[in-house]
A and B are shown apart, each in its own frame.
Chain A
């Protein structure tokens, strides 16, 4: 062998060795990588800034706080439970932790725009599957369940699925397959791509390693949220989610469209019953019932608290008496709907004031404190101290 051939051989052999080394580091990172001093998922550590946290990072956040004898309270759901409208120091889950005390560890894994059983909710499922004591707190509006796949955080479902983190729930697989069969070719292609990436990652662990690098050392992709210093490690990103201004400055813009949205919470879910009152429409309620049954494994249900979060009084008091009656009926009916499936459901916000709200749906710090007190009771009902 000539020296030149030897050099080429060393180079060629070093490539798979380097790749294997990266896989090994990825496997290790999967065991420990997580955001430090974690309070909630702010822009710097969320998909809005191209930081698509792997499932393992979310699990690690929860497990790092757990100790034997404690119950993990995973808060999933959408921006309302994420604390959008509250400063980092006022995030409602900090108050929930204070209310519940040391016997519980509260972890806020709510993503803005997430469905009630998506993203953070799957972390609770994974932990329960591994026999950790878990309570899942999530939120939704009447008529909304959705699927674990196919939305902004669907990548977390495939990530968890191909790493064997979830309960075997054939109804969920069948529902997703059926949905995909009727989806557009573009949606099917997108789902195929997500699945391929997740399968590959289950073997090669590139998400864990490079998200860890992006968090601790250097982020390599430009995006509008982190300009102009997009390369900075995400560990240095600050939580700059919006904070509620003084009350006099709230509810001042887009009142008409926000009122339409408030009406929309019940407009397609009930119909006049002919005697001046309302009855709940059957088909949407059946869809919700089927989706709860298909998406949420039975073993999870008695570990769940589902909050049906009401709109601010500023808008609810502007509904006509008829619309308000419909709104109340629909919220109560869908609360019962979740309960029929063995899930503790509660309407929250009916007795809140405008001061408790940042905007139509999100809570200010005062509302966060009220929500924490209520939720602490609901959690204790499921998992007594």
Chain B
């Protein structure tokens, strides 16, 4: 494989990794948005 081909493969792999990560982050974002701003506060009584 020539150096330029290697660079192209590397660039595509990097885009793939970034894309997958963004997909995971969007999924994480759904979880994060579902959390309340304040935790539940239990007062013993």
Given contacts A10-B12, A113-B42, contact A52 B35 (CB under 8 A): yes
Write the A1-28 contact mask toward B (1 if CB under 8 angstroms, else 0): 0010011101111111111111100100
Q: How far is the CA of A323 from the CA of B17 in the complex (A)?
A: 70
Partner of A224, one of B11, B21, B26, B39: B39
Given contacts A3-B8, A10-B12, A200-B30, contact A19 B45 (CB under 8 A): no
A180 at the interface (CB under 8 A from B): no
A209 at the interface (CB under 8 A from B): yes
A95 at the interface (CB under 8 A from B): no
B21 touches A18 (CB 8 A): yes
B residues in contact with A200, CB < 8 Å: 30
Q: How far is the CA of A204 from the CA of B27 in the complex (A)?
A: 8
Q: How far is the CA of A20 from the CA of B27 in the complex (A)?
A: 9
A residues in contact with B28, CB < 8 Å: 22, 206, 210, 220
A18 touches B12 (CB 8 A): no
A residues in contact with B19, CB < 8 Å: 10-15, 17-18
A residues in contact with B11, CB < 8 Å: 3, 7
Q: How far is the CA of A225 from the CA of B27 in the complex (A)?
A: 26
B44 touches A112 (CB 8 A): yes
User: Which residue of chain B has the shortest Cβ distance to A153 in the bound complex?
Assistant: B40
A residues in contact with B18, CB < 8 Å: 11, 14
Q: How far is the CA of A368 from the CA of B31 in the complex (A)?
A: 37
A residues in contact with B31, CB < 8 Å: 206-207, 209-211
A residues in contact with B24, CB < 8 Å: 18-19, 21-22
A17 touches B23 (CB 8 A): yes
A residues in contact with B39, CB < 8 Å: 47-50, 223-225
B34 at the interface (CB under 8 A from A): yes
Given contacts A7-B15, A14-B16, A221-B32, contact A21 B23 (CB under 8 A): yes
A residues in contact with B15, CB < 8 Å: 7-8, 10-11, 14
B42 touches A15 (CB 8 A): no
B20 touches A18 (CB 8 A): yes
Given contacts A26-B27, A50-B39, contact A21 B12 (CB under 8 A): no
Interface residues on B, range: 20 to 34
Interface residues on A, range: 35 or more
A10 touches B41 (CB 8 A): no
A residues in contact with B12, CB < 8 Å: 6-7, 10
B residues in contact with A197, CB < 8 Å: 34
B residues in contact with A209, CB < 8 Å: 27, 31
Given contacts A52-B35, A221-B35, contact A47 B40 (CB under 8 A): yes
B40 touches A206 (CB 8 A): no
Given contacts A206-B27, A359-B44, contact A21 B20 (CB under 8 A): yes
Q: What's the least CB distance linking B40 to chain A, in Å?
A: 4
A362 at the interface (CB under 8 A from B): yes
User: Which residue of chain B has the shortest Cβ distance to A7 in the bound complex?
Assistant: B15
A79 at the interface (CB under 8 A from B): yes
A315 at the interface (CB under 8 A from B): no
Most-contacted residue by chain B among A11, A152, A209 (CB, 10 A): A11
A294 at the interface (CB under 8 A from B): no
Q: How far is the CA of A46 from the CA of B39 in the complex (A)?
A: 9
Supply 6 further A-B pairs (C-beta < 8 A) apart from A18-B21, A50-B39, A209-B31. Answer: A15-B20, A26-B27, A47-B39, A211-B31, A220-B28, A220-B32
10 A-B contact pairs sorted by A residue (CB < 8 Å): A13-B19, A15-B22, A18-B19, A18-B22, A52-B35, A84-B44, A113-B43, A197-B34, A200-B30, A206-B28
